[in-house]
């Protein structure tokens, strides 16, 4: 069932099995649940899973802040809203 309205994370979190649109004070982007990596002793290692959110793809090159890697608490703190992608 496709959803066509914004849902507040405080009411329901985005799906962890497919991509979605997200919105917060600074814009609208695309997100998905995924594996996060950290550099530990010079090696890239899997550390945790979180929502991976891309707001401005053209700013990602060389910018360590993109994409965002937010857990459920950060999604609540940032008052994120989400909706299913069209035609999914």
Convert the pLDDT of each residue in 23-82 to its tens digit: 999 889 999 999 988 777 877 777 789 999 998 766 656 656 678 899 999 999 999 999
Would you place residue 1 in the very low, low, confident or very high pLDDT band (cuts 50, 70, 90)?
very low
Q: Which range (8-17, 18-27, 33-42) has the least confidence?
A: 33-42
pLDDT of residue 29: 92
Give pTM, 2 decimals.
Answer: 0.79
Contact 35/28 with Cβ under 8 angstroms? no
| Residue 13 tokens, joined | 């979190």
pLDDT of residue 36: 85
Query: How far is the C-alpha of 14 from the C-alpha of 37, rounded, in Å?
Result: 21
Number of residues that make up the chain: 88
């Amino acid at each position: 069932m496709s959803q066509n309205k914004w849902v507040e994370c405080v009411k329901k979190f985005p799906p962890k099995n497919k991509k979605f649109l997200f919105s917060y004070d600074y814009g609208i982007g695309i997100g998905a649940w995924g594996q996060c990596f950290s550099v530990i002793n010079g090696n890239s290692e899997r550390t945790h899973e979180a929502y991976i959110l891309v707001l401005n793809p053209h700013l990602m090159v060389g910018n360590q802040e993109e994409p965002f890697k937010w857990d459920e608490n950060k999604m609540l703190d940032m008052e994120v809203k989400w909706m299913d992608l069209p035609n999914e």
